[in-house]
Structure 1
Amino acid sequence: MRGVFTKGVNKYQKWIEMSMLIAFLILIWFVDNTIPFLIGYFLISLSFRAFMEWKYKREKKEYILTLYSMFIYLFVLVIGFYLI
Structure 2
Amino acid sequence: VVLPDTPANGAMNVARKVVEAVRALDLSHEKSEAGDRVSVSVGVATVVPRPTLGPEHLIELADRGLFRAKKDGGDRIAEPDSGSGQPLGEPRP
TM-score, normalized by the shorter chain, greater than 0.5? no
Q: Which has the higher helix share?
A: 1
Q: Which has the higher strand share?
A: 2
Q: TM-score, normalised by structure 1?
A: 0.38
Q: TM-score, normalised by structure 2?
A: 0.35
